[in-house]
Structure 1
Amino acid sequence: MASRHGLARLAYSGVLYLAAPLIWRLVWRESAPTHPRGERLGLIPRRTDARPRIWLHAASLGEVVTATPLIRALLAQHADHALVITTMTATGAERIETLFGDAVRHHFLPLDFPGAARRFVERLQPALAIIAETELWPNLLHACATRGVPVVIANGRLSLGAFATYRRFAALSRDMLESVAWVGAKSGEDAGRFRALGCPAARTAVTGALKFDIQLDDSLESESERLRTSWGERPVWVAGSTHPGEDEAVLVAHARLRERYPDALLVLVPRHPQRFDAVAEVCRARGLVVARHSRGEVPEPDTAIVLGDTMGDLMRFYGAADVAFVGGSLVPVGGHNLLEPAALGVAVVSGPYLDNLREIADTLAEADARREIVDGSALGEVLITLFDAPEERQRLGAAGRAVVEANRGALAATLEKVSAYLRSNA
């Protein structure tokens, strides 16, 4: 069995080497001026301090947002450890720097070539590795197993698509998961999929979703109030984390809403910063007056849209809104964090594509704390309904907040396991 697993990993590595030029081209743009590209080959500084290290990997912006409560708890409860965060993307790196500054060290994750993975783990020398959600790299996990580094998967999830992909490479998947110390799955379905791929049942637990343990900054309420005051007394809604194909639908909805409420203001927040300029042009091409938040432009009475073209401000925008549409859900992306506006008591609306957070979406729907629409026209009608009925809008927001409060607990369960492994590895 072990031999077959080793052969599977060898074959996988061979394919990586053959695809190296394409892989390198794909990650070339995911860089930051303060990070040498050699990090992608595991060329990070060798450990010099005496403090043991916790390594947490959060692939991209979404995983960073999910892992933020865990990162804050690790900094508070394990201050005797150095915390190192890795990401695959530049947007994830930017959010880590914005949120935590010098409190953590950040590196880009190395590409999963055997030498790069081995070099990275040898130089980092972590006492524990934590993977947020699920980004499993066979050679990195093998390097951890070789050096006796326990690996914990926090908020583990496997969509049907990801599960099918891993299952096609059964020997490689089993090899990876047999070396994982513990999986804290966010749902029973996710736990079952991890077990089906080879993770021992004794090392798998259902913790619930870390996203329910969302923490609100003390300054958030006052900052949101300041924004709302600057926008004036008018209906305000946010379209957060939108993708190509959604912006047009959102603008259709806003046009419909403004037929009923001519002074309605849309705060449009594209998911990826490289799209900010293009989305601004799409809005202006429709004859809409746009205020760009990054330039400090304050909306005038004739302003139809505030473009949220800054990083790290989405929660402030949600807090200043009456209704929030959460993107990645009108196109087959899988949906983004529905719990951010819900935790703030803001009425939540989404599209139907919610595979990335199905259990959360269903929990909100069962509590009548989410409205689902299928296109821009339907979104416009729901917005009109909610602005026509303030009491229903407020009830929807309160129901969402109650769901968040009732489902907290994944953070405590994860921290308990993390602390146990740190003690045993001390």
Structure 2
Amino acid sequence: MKERIALALYGALLRLLTPFYLLRLWRRGRAEPLYRQFIGERLGVYKQAAPAHGWIWIHAVSLGETRAAAALVERLRALRPGSRILLTHSTATGREAGRELLREGDAQAWLPYDRGDAVRRFLLHWQPAVGVLMETEIWPNLQAEAARFRLPMVLANARLSEKSLRQGRRFAALLQPAARRLTLALAQSEPDAERIRAMGTPRVEVMGNLKYDMQPDSALIERGRAWRERLGRPVLLAAVFREGEEQMLLDAWKKLRVYGQRPLLVIVPRHPQRFDEVAALVQAAGLTLARRSTWQDLPPDEALAADCWLGDSMREMPLYYGLADAALLGGSYAKLGGQNLIEAAACGCPMVMGPHTFNFAEASTLAESAGAALRAADIEQALTQALRLCEAPSEQQAMARRAMAFAAQHRGAAERMAQAISAILP
């Protein structure tokens, strides 16, 4: 009874807010036009035809989840030849990256808002054989409707922080029934598994982290290294920085930049809609700026002489990691939980983390223990450590080797998860 009341109130609130969500999509579409495409899919209305049944449906909300899903998709194809993959997303960056994973016979769509009517239309249209939700995507109406359709639902590469567990308990009437309806959760670590079990999921298995199975583009890494040689000076990367962190970095940069060689600062924001905002911050700080989007293969002379580069390009992180002597981990200096450091390790880029890495707690602890990453108490200490690495090539190279060994050591989650999902399929 309590769940039915909670679902009814939740559904009514979502219906009330739907016009505002759609307006927000349209506004975001000014900077990212993909948000204005296929808007009917957000309400479960799909123009593309679908075969009667049999899809392996994978929901990867954004860019990080989509890239992590690539290795899982590859292993599922190997175990289930001829299977059709349905990829759904919630963000433009996720959908754009997902296009590269599609093969003939596959499909891609927006996941609808978590309204009961929209979710029912989605499930009736596609009739998947299994639903695989990446990392943290548990939605009350989606789980309730999947149960009515007797659709097995898997949470893959699952993680749950202490903060998220507290939030889940706060909305227990909605989220705990959704967690209980999961057929299987494939957790990144034992602490994640314990927290997911605490939410009520009956079957939880520890499989490791799919992000270790991501294969960075070696051509991009080599291009970045070639650019670094051409620059002839140290390069410090602010990797996947988020709101508020760029200003913290620029303030600290002005205080600490006292080295004989003038290092290049490269800032790559997490969200593309913030590129112009970050460019304005850099210029307001008095630094000369070059934007990656303004050249193709080789940086021009004016870019080589600039104080700062803005990484305003998509899907080029291996290039930036190859370019950098050391990197600062975005999301870990503000209280945002950190970003994925595993890709940096696989590219051989030493990383300096801030104090807030709760979204990747196990990976950050393991990387620090392996000597693949350093920990700093704040942005100024992180800059000091990173610039010291830039000035010590032998130490930087040793740390780069440890980083690549760390990333290689933990691979294999994609095969384990694909086997578990395949066992659920008819």
Partners of 1:120 and 1:358 lie apart in 2 by: 34
1:243 paired to 2:245: no
**1:119 equivalent among 118, 121, 129:** 121
**1:129 equivalent among 128, 131, 141:** 131
| Structure 1 residue 27, shift from structure 2 partner | 4.1
- Aligned to 1:259, the other structure's residue is in SS state coil
Code of the aligned partner of 1:405: A
- Aligned to 2:186, the other structure's residue is in SS state strand
Partners of 1:254 and 1:47 lie apart in 2 by: 54
1:310 corresponds to which residue?
313
**8 Å contact from structure 1 (residues 253, 378) kept in 2:** no
- Aligned to 2:315, the other structure's residue is in SS state coil
2:145 corresponds to which residue?
143
| Structure 1 residue 51, shift from structure 2 partner | 7.3
1:353 paired to 2:356: yes
TM-score, structure 1 length as denominator? 0.90
**8 Å contact from structure 2 (residues 52, 127) kept in 1:** no
| Structure 1 residue 317, shift from structure 2 partner | 0.8
Structure 1 122/50 Cα, relative in aligned 2: closer, same or farther at 3 Å?
closer
Partners of 1:420 and 1:101 lie apart in 2 by: 23
Structure 1 33/193 Cα, relative in aligned 2: closer, same or farther at 3 Å?
closer
Partners of 2:52 and 2:121 lie apart in 1 by: 19
2:369 corresponds to which residue?
366
Partners of 2:188 and 2:135 lie apart in 1 by: 9
1:155 corresponds to which residue?
157
| Structure 1 residue 13, shift from structure 2 partner | 1.7
- Aligned to 2:131, the other structure's residue is in SS state strand
Within 5 Å, give how 1:162-181 maps onto structure 2.
162-181=164-183
Structure 1 381/152 Cα, relative in aligned 2: closer, same or farther at 3 Å?
same
- Aligned to 1:149, the other structure's residue is in SS state coil
Aligned length: 417
Within 5 Å, give how 1:32-51 maps onto structure 2.
32=34, 35-45=37-47, 47-49=49-51
**8 Å contact from structure 1 (residues 62, 336) kept in 2:** no
- Aligned to 2:328, the other structure's residue is in SS state strand
Structure 1 51/149 Cα, relative in aligned 2: closer, same or farther at 3 Å?
closer
2:112 corresponds to which residue?
110
2:401 corresponds to which residue?
398
**8 Å contact from structure 2 (residues 72, 415) kept in 1:** no
1:415 paired to 2:418: yes
- Aligned to 2:258, the other structure's residue is in SS state helix
| Structure 1 residue 266, shift from structure 2 partner | 1.6
| Structure 1 residue 102, shift from structure 2 partner | 5.9
**8 Å contact from structure 1 (residues 252, 376) kept in 2:** no
**8 Å contact from structure 1 (residues 223, 316) kept in 2:** yes
2:342 corresponds to which residue?
339
**8 Å contact from structure 2 (residues 346, 403) kept in 1:** yes
Partners of 1:225 and 1:382 lie apart in 2 by: 21
1:270 paired to 2:269: yes
Within 5 Å, give how 1:191-202 maps onto structure 2.
191-200=193-202
TM-score, structure 2 length as denominator? 0.90
**8 Å contact from structure 2 (residues 353, 376) kept in 1:** yes
| Structure 1 residue 33, shift from structure 2 partner | 6.4
| Structure 1 residue 256, shift from structure 2 partner | 5.4
1:205 corresponds to which residue?
205
| Structure 1 residue 334, shift from structure 2 partner | 0.9
Partners of 1:206 and 1:101 lie apart in 2 by: 28
2:224 corresponds to which residue?
224
Partners of 1:234 and 1:136 lie apart in 2 by: 46
**8 Å contact from structure 2 (residues 234, 261) kept in 1:** no
Structure 1 147/187 Cα, relative in aligned 2: closer, same or farther at 3 Å?
same
| Structure 1 residue 222, shift from structure 2 partner | 3.2
- Aligned to 1:352, the other structure's residue is in SS state coil
1:17 corresponds to which residue?
15
Partners of 1:137 and 1:62 lie apart in 2 by: 19
Partners of 1:79 and 1:321 lie apart in 2 by: 40
- Aligned to 1:219, the other structure's residue is in SS state helix
| Structure 1 residue 329, shift from structure 2 partner | 0.8
- Aligned to 2:46, the other structure's residue is in SS state coil
**8 Å contact from structure 1 (residues 53, 125) kept in 2:** yes
Q: Which runs of 5+ in 2 are unaligned?
A: none
- Aligned to 1:167, the other structure's residue is in SS state helix
| Structure 1 residue 279, shift from structure 2 partner | 1.3
**8 Å contact from structure 2 (residues 53, 126) kept in 1:** no
Within 5 Å, give how 1:284-299 maps onto structure 2.
284-296=283-295, 297-298=299-300
- Aligned to 1:260, the other structure's residue is in SS state coil
What percent of counterpart residues are identical?
Answer: 36
**8 Å contact from structure 2 (residues 233, 261) kept in 1:** no
Partners of 1:413 and 1:117 lie apart in 2 by: 29
**8 Å contact from structure 1 (residues 151, 180) kept in 2:** yes
Structure 1 33/369 Cα, relative in aligned 2: closer, same or farther at 3 Å?
closer
1:8 paired to 2:6: yes
| Structure 1 residue 401, shift from structure 2 partner | 1.9
| Structure 1 residue 251, shift from structure 2 partner | 2.6
| Structure 1 residue 254, shift from structure 2 partner | 4.1
Structure 1 380/401 Cα, relative in aligned 2: closer, same or farther at 3 Å?
same
Tell me the C-alpha RMSD between the 2 structures.
Answer: 2.3
| Structure 1 residue 308, shift from structure 2 partner | 0.6
| Structure 1 residue 44, shift from structure 2 partner | 1.4
Per-residue CA deviations over 1:365-398 (Å, capped at 9, x if unaligned) read 2223211223332233112321232222222222
- Aligned to 1:222, the other structure's residue is in SS state helix
- Aligned to 1:161, the other structure's residue is in SS state helix
| Structure 1 residue 205, shift from structure 2 partner | 0.5
Code of the aligned partner of 1:343: A
Partners of 1:46 and 1:330 lie apart in 2 by: 43
Code of the aligned partner of 1:217: D
Partners of 2:111 and 2:313 lie apart in 1 by: 25
| Structure 1 residue 151, shift from structure 2 partner | 0.8
| Structure 1 residue 236, shift from structure 2 partner | 1.2
